[in-house]
Structure 1
Amino acid sequence: MAPIPDQLINTYELGPDKERVQHEVSVARTGEKVIQILSTEELIQQHLQNIHHIDECSRDSNTRWAKQITIPNAYAPSMVPLEKLQQIPLSALALETHHRGSFITASTITPAYQFSTTTTLVQDASNTVAVLVLGFQDDSVTPIPQNSTVAIKEPYVKYHESAGWIIRVDHPSDIAVLRGDDPAVTMIMKFVKEKRDVSGEEWRKQGDGAFLEGKFGSAVECYTQALSDSLSKENLHSSQDVYRKRAFANLMSQRYQQAKEDSLASCSGTDLDAKAYFTAGKACYALRSFVESKTYLEKALELNPSDMKARKELNRVLIRLEEHNTGNYDFARMIQEQESNIWLDHADFTSKVEVRPTNYAGRGLFTTKDVEGGELLMCEKAFCLPNQYTGDEASDTVLFNFNNGTRTQKSGQALVFQNLVQQLYKNPEISKVFYDLDSGSYVRNGDEGKVVDGVPVVDAFLVESIRLKNCFSAPKLSRNLLKRNCPAHETNLTTAIWHKASYTNHSCVPNCGRAFIGDFMTLRALHAIPAGTELTHQYSAPDASTLFRREAYLSNWDFDCTCRLCAGEKKIPDENHVKRTELAKKIKAEAMKFSANGRTISMTNVKAIEKMMRKLEDMYEPSIYASLPRLLLVHPSIWLMEASRKANNTSKMVKFAIEVLKNFGFGSKIVDAVNEKVELDWEGGIVNTEVFNSLRNAAEGYDELGRSELAEGCRSAARRMYVVLAGCDVGIEKFFSGNLDN
């Protein structure tokens, strides 16, 4: 084989534009029989060159390649058991065809390439060689090793510029792999070659060896073979021992439902059952079935009262049940824990909310009892959250979806898709709650999560459709965003799914607010809410331009917002909105010019911006906006507030801080100067960090002006907002003393 050249093109990293061109060529050649245009040696050399190239890039600190993951045009996963399919050779495959009713088998003849995809070369019994591309990835295991055997159900074939054609697998349930490095597979091959049966005892010993090597999936397979042996079936004690071992292996493989079932199957009515109940309790804890976990751990302690591990686990369960039943959390501890591990060990609290049908948008989240402003409505652990927090810098993982033309902007968005696919594949018991979420216009087959050939069917395209409609962007700690001088890295965001929270519909003027502590989301009421009321929050911060908002909500979430702000603004001719938006852009440009390059802003500059803002203010229709936010005025009033603060003009700063509150909808008469009172219309206003900081500025300004009661009124309102925006009241006093502002 020729040496690998120094300069080469990576034929596996094409990028979305070239992928799209290849797709168009593939569609144009639909039905053509595949032709191997390169020899086996040439395919192998090209494959090894690509591996060498990506290895070199990973070692070069000056080169940063972005993973460019593409989701091709959607096709349905196979729902047919392997035994009902007809085997065909690779040479019988055709381009752009889903070979329904057929399957192929082949062996991997190279190490796997892994970057944007997992790619390897496979060869069938007739020596035909093909490029196999897996569109999904599982970073928890090594890629498919050489000398593995694969079976692909109803394979899908696409044109490829350099290789001629590829087999593309996007659904993990469409492929079965007998790994070449799996002790169970090695043992099977050995005894097939020797033409002799393997005893249950031999399988058990092989499973023990695999477990000790940390190959838990292989251990599970060996123990399964041992249980299927006739001798094991006849020997109840032996079977119970193998069930017990397989339970531990499943627990270590994070297959918790199977671990629970095996633990209970191992019970013999003796004191040995203490270990079985302990394992079942651990598995139920991992499944977040805390009541069931408590039951099994108590049984373990009945059989072995001195088991300190079981006692410790039971105490942990009791704390989780307290959280679940009462909503009483140690938020200070949670904040401390997320600094080292974002995946927190706490229970969900959701008893104050429930999912119900709405009369306008499918389903929504409703209160089950009366709640007060600031009260905790829900605290929920993320269904899936990758530890990938990024800012505005270029993403190192980009996801392109050919079905809707979307392109992700954050690495976390691509990772949450990949993680969801693997999570649903490994733990089918959790799939029901996920597949119940909205998937937009994607056409479902109705069998989501159905188990075929012992594995759950996972439709990767459905997973992405659900992700697009239900994802949240989240910081590690929302409290940090309230800092005046928040470091850039603390503003970084990831993307995640929260199951229950996903049912909350949008309103530009919502009645509850969310915050994040690690992988937990809190939802708190912004004001008093009666039982049976639908809860709403903002899908994204409402843009000042109503025309922009309408387009964004339709294109991203397929709905037309009917909140009272949008309903009011629809009564106004679009040309009025356009004129206001144009003036707002001019004000922003002028303000940025005054602030450019660290220039000192003069009071003359302030007067100029204020004059323009008053002109914009006069363009608002009083009959419509008497009790509505005037969002185009928000940016100018914030700029004027901050400019006055930097100029040490306290009176002006306070004046514009109150105007920020008015423009966000908190009322036209917020300050009663005669009676020294501050009153906010909590039902009419939009709670966010800008309003919080405006209240802080106003409080500090009133202190300087000797208006202590007004200062305390602003500070009291800011404290109430802090609890909503931070998720809890931890650190509130330090915050207002300025000790947490950096």
Structure 2
Amino acid sequence: MTSQNDGNTVFLTEQEVERIQITVKDKLKKCSELRGHARERRDAKTAISQATAASLMADMAGTSDPNIAQTKGRGGTLPVLVVGQPYPPCVVSLQDLEPMKLADLLMDTHHRGRQLTVKRASPVVTLAARSWTMVQDKVGEEIERLEVCLHTSRQGEDVLQSASVFVIKEPYFTLTDQGEATLRIDHPSDLIACWNEIANSGEVAAEKVARSFKVDGDTLLKQNDLPIAHAKYTESLKAARQEIVSNANPDLARDISRSRTHVNFLLDQVDEAKADAEASLTSRQDQRSKELDSKAYFSAGCAAYKLGEYQDAKDSFEKQLKLVPGDKDANTKLRKIEMRLREQEIGTYDVTKIRAGLSRARPRVDAASFIKMTKLGDSPGRGRGLFAMHNVSPRDIIMCEKAFCVVWGHEREAWTAMTYDVRDDRIRVSPVGLSKSIVHKLLNNPSQLRKVIDLYGDYQGDGESVFMTEEGPVVDTFRIHDIMSRNAFDAGKQYEEEGSSNASTGLWVWTSYINHSCIPNAKREYIGDLMLLRATRPILAGEEVFITYDESSDYDARKTALMNTWGFECNCALCTAERSDDPAARKKRQELATDADAFLEREHWANAKRLTIVRAQRLAQAIDDTYDEERYKGLPRVATQRIKDWLAKASPRR
């Protein structure tokens, strides 16, 4: 992830770091010692009483978690989360998993090939980074703790509060950081909420079952209980699509698909909305069928548009117009699609109009990505990179990309934590709110999974390419976290001030392939969540495109950031020169650069007085004097860049 600015800096004392490290390592040691041991039985009355008390305390204290380490930054208190212990999600359907009981659980064990059905037995304790409750098995003989980590909500509702019965796929039984035994859920797809328990009704009753569940879905939709309404429609479709019903009443499944299309749009499950809209088509020529199909094509087109599939969207709206010529909404959509297709093909954007339409309430751009002037290729020593397909002049646009996912600082999803990674023993500031949002979007729209999973991350998963089971999409949250950590960008303070706890961050998939250089040939600009990449010098066809991941003029700070965040040491010509500097010269340069930053905060370049300009010139010269002329020949002098930009724009009052 690109580095945050100084306003988002979080400082940890050596004592705080040591305390976090000792706590985590002690827990890992205890887990190792207990691995494979039989679970200790809990007293149900005591367990429920403790969970009830903890729930009341959480309600009074908000979402802060007294059992998670906290540290303070300039913007507030941040929790410290442990990462770096990845394991893959279950990629097997429930029907292929063998049932087990709570009594069968073994400590610190992933029970592969098994499934566990439990029912909630206590209130849910809802905290910032996790939710937990007590659960019992089917017969109520055993009770245990169930914890969902980080990805605690679906469709705005805490997942543990959304149902009373759950099936856990391949249960992971381990210890919390405080040493308490728990069933732990890290992958949302490993926990199945059971809203419906349908008996095998037989073929004769299938249509009756389908209609009954559709009525339930309609009622829940009116009550705006969307997740359960979706579950009812889904079960209704399963019954309606049985062969006997399909032969007898093919319109029933289409009718249910229309209802579920609407719910899917409200839940932002665009993939399924598109599929349902297409499944509801009758292809008949009577007037009523044409009206229904017109609405289906409109829904399919809207879904394709939201997914960025503009040609598919165009085809759907054109088919709608064949059924209902002159439809105003379809024509309006087609005009917007033509704009998106032009943006994709030639990179033509109405920047003034786009900027005028942005606000804190509407921070995202309705635009397509223009990436066809670049291609993905092998970058020696760096893995993959992006290369220019044509010659590019300075200030020309190389590419424009709409973000896959952005979390703005003023949105409730914006949440930053300190993460302690046990793999390299490092503590980092991490925008975990962005990670949660990416996972949520991928669960809702699994067609987008492959392009995100293709990005680089330290954890590569188990090599399985299973993104879907009978129960729905499968997302490896550990893999997404690592991809986000290596590829996310600071989206800038475009809408309000931010602190350490709520930085604006986003993931731009294509831009993520661009490699770093301290002497870049391109620079990023932002218009909302649209990233523009401009050339800073001439770029020849076939030349690799570089940006700088960290713009600090302080060599030591930049070196630390590149290693901590991206895991490499830069050996470009600029870093080589700065590495050879006398430490005293580097220190003086940084002190002068700090003075220059303070000057720029005080003085605006517009109509600056001559005396002010002279002071800026002297300050720029003083910084320049810290550079060795021979060693820095032909290299940028990063510490002077901002004040020289100011001088280039400044003019004395007349």
Q: Shared fold by TM > 0.5?
A: yes
Contact preservation (8 Å) 2:99, 2:114: yes
Per the TM alignment, residue 555 of structure 1 is displaced from its structure 2 partner at its CA by 4.0
In the alignment, which residue of structure 2 is the partner of 1:202? 212
Contact preservation (8 Å) 2:258, 2:296: yes
Contact preservation (8 Å) 2:416, 2:433: no
The separation in 1 between residues aligned to 2:187 and 2:297, in whole angstroms, is 35
Matched, 1:354 2:317: no
Matched, 1:122 2:135: yes
Contact preservation (8 Å) 2:173, 2:183: yes
Determine helix, strand or coil for the equivalent of 2:278.
helix
In the alignment, which residue of structure 1 is the partner of 2:440? 422
In the alignment, structure 2 segments of 5+ residues that lack a partner are: 1-18, 65-69, 71-75
The separation in 2 between residues aligned to 1:324 and 1:196, in whole angstroms, is 47
In the alignment, which residue of structure 1 is the partner of 2:5? none
Contact preservation (8 Å) 2:51, 2:123: no
Determine helix, strand or coil for the equivalent of 2:62.
helix
The separation in 2 between residues aligned to 1:490 and 1:667, in whole angstroms, is 40
2:181 aligned to which of 143, 161, 165: 165
Determine helix, strand or coil for the equivalent of 1:369.
coil
Contact preservation (8 Å) 2:27, 2:178: no
Determine helix, strand or coil for the equivalent of 1:354.
strand
Contact preservation (8 Å) 2:308, 2:368: yes
The separation in 1 between residues aligned to 2:400 and 2:627, in whole angstroms, is 27
Question: For residues 645-693 of structure 1, what are the alpha-carbon distances to aligned partners after superposition, in whole Å with 9 as ceiling and x for unaligned?
Answer: 8993644533544676898999999xxxxxxxxxxx9x954789x6355
Matched, 1:694 2:640: no
The separation in 2 between residues aligned to 1:259 and 1:640, in whole angstroms, is 55
Matched, 1:453 2:470: yes
Per the TM alignment, residue 129 of structure 1 is displaced from its structure 2 partner at its CA by 0.7
Contact preservation (8 Å) 1:112, 1:119: yes
The separation in 1 between residues aligned to 2:625 and 2:279, in whole angstroms, is 65
Gap change, CA 1:145 and 1:513, over 3 Å in 2: same
1:534 aligned to which of 527, 531, 544: 544
In the alignment, which residue of structure 1 is the partner of 2:562? 553
The separation in 1 between residues aligned to 2:206 and 2:553, in whole angstroms, is 72
Determine helix, strand or coil for the equivalent of 1:415.
helix
Contact preservation (8 Å) 1:658, 1:694: no
The separation in 1 between residues aligned to 2:480 and 2:550, in whole angstroms, is 22
Contact preservation (8 Å) 2:89, 2:190: yes
Question: For residues 523-573 of structure 1, what are the alpha-carbon distances to aligned partners after superposition, in whole Å with 9 as ceiling and x for unaligned?
Answer: 11112211111100101114433x66445434432334243323555xxxx
**Greater CA drift, 207-216 or 398-407:** 398-407
Contact preservation (8 Å) 2:97, 2:114: yes
The separation in 2 between residues aligned to 1:309 and 1:661, in whole angstroms, is 61
1:307 aligned to which of 309, 322, 327: 327
Determine helix, strand or coil for the equivalent of 1:648.
helix
Could you say which structure has the larger radius of gyration? 1
Per the TM alignment, residue 90 of structure 1 is displaced from its structure 2 partner at its CA by 0.4
Determine helix, strand or coil for the equivalent of 2:325.
coil
Determine helix, strand or coil for the equivalent of 1:366.
strand
Query: More helix by proportion, 1 or 2?
Result: 1
In the alignment, structure 1 segments of 5+ residues that lack a partner are: 1-13, 180-184, 481-486, 592-633, 670-680, 707-742
The separation in 1 between residues aligned to 2:165 and 2:602, in whole angstroms, is 68
In the alignment, which residue of structure 2 is the partner of 1:138? 153
Question: For residues 327-374 of structure 1, what are the alpha-carbon distances to aligned partners after superposition, in whole Å with 9 as ceiling and x for unaligned?
Answer: 222323333313322222221121221211122211101111111111
Determine helix, strand or coil for the equivalent of 1:107.
strand
Alignment of 1:85-234 (within 5 A): 85-115=97-127, 116-126=129-139, 127-135=141-149, 136-138=151-153, 140-143=155-158, 144-145=160-161, 148-160=164-176, 164-179=180-195, 185=196, 188=198, 198-227=208-237, 228-229=239-240, 230=242, 232-234=245-247
The separation in 2 between residues aligned to 1:640 and 1:316, in whole angstroms, is 46
Gap change, CA 1:374 and 1:521, over 3 Å in 2: same
Contact preservation (8 Å) 1:516, 1:522: yes
Determine helix, strand or coil for the equivalent of 1:515.
strand
Matched to 1:57, the amino acid is A
Q: What RMSD over aligned residues (CA atoms) do the two structures have, in Å?
A: 3.8
Gap change, CA 1:664 and 1:141, over 3 Å in 2: farther
Per the TM alignment, residue 122 of structure 1 is displaced from its structure 2 partner at its CA by 0.8
Contact preservation (8 Å) 1:667, 1:685: no
Contact preservation (8 Å) 2:525, 2:532: yes
Gap change, CA 1:200 and 1:446, over 3 Å in 2: same
Contact preservation (8 Å) 1:512, 1:524: yes
Matched to 2:314, the amino acid is K
Matched to 2:39, the amino acid is V
In the alignment, which residue of structure 1 is the partner of 2:12? none
Per the TM alignment, residue 94 of structure 1 is displaced from its structure 2 partner at its CA by 1.1
Contact preservation (8 Å) 1:191, 1:197: no
1:40 aligned to which of 44, 55, 66: 44
Contact preservation (8 Å) 1:191, 1:198: no
TM-score (structure 2 length as normaliser) = 0.82
Per the TM alignment, residue 208 of structure 1 is displaced from its structure 2 partner at its CA by 1.8
In the alignment, which residue of structure 1 is the partner of 2:337? 317
In the alignment, which residue of structure 2 is the partner of 1:582? 584
Per the TM alignment, residue 139 of structure 1 is displaced from its structure 2 partner at its CA by 5.7
Determine helix, strand or coil for the equivalent of 1:349.
coil
Determine helix, strand or coil for the equivalent of 1:388.
coil
1:278 aligned to which of 298, 301, 305: 298
Contact preservation (8 Å) 2:154, 2:440: no
Determine helix, strand or coil for the equivalent of 1:24.
helix
Alignment of 1:688-727 (within 5 A): 691-701=641-651, 703=652
In the alignment, which residue of structure 1 is the partner of 2:311? 291
1:335 aligned to which of 355, 361, 364: 355
Per the TM alignment, residue 17 of structure 1 is displaced from its structure 2 partner at its CA by 6.0
TM-score (structure 1 length as normaliser) = 0.73
2:490 aligned to which of 473, 480, 496: 473
Determine helix, strand or coil for the equivalent of 1:54.
helix
Higher relative contact order (CA 8 A, sep 6+): 2
Gap change, CA 1:494 and 1:667, over 3 Å in 2: farther
**Identity, % of aligned pairs?**
25
In the alignment, which residue of structure 2 is the partner of 1:603? none
Contact preservation (8 Å) 1:435, 1:448: no
The separation in 2 between residues aligned to 1:687 and 1:491, in whole angstroms, is 29
Matched to 2:194, the amino acid is L
The separation in 2 between residues aligned to 1:646 and 1:668, in whole angstroms, is 35
Matched, 1:259 2:209: no
Contact preservation (8 Å) 1:321, 1:347: yes
The separation in 2 between residues aligned to 1:565 and 1:137, in whole angstroms, is 45
Per the TM alignment, residue 297 of structure 1 is displaced from its structure 2 partner at its CA by 1.0
Determine helix, strand or coil for the equivalent of 2:260.
helix
The separation in 1 between residues aligned to 2:364 and 2:544, in whole angstroms, is 29
Contact preservation (8 Å) 1:338, 1:517: no
Matched to 1:32, the amino acid is H
Per the TM alignment, residue 30 of structure 1 is displaced from its structure 2 partner at its CA by 1.2
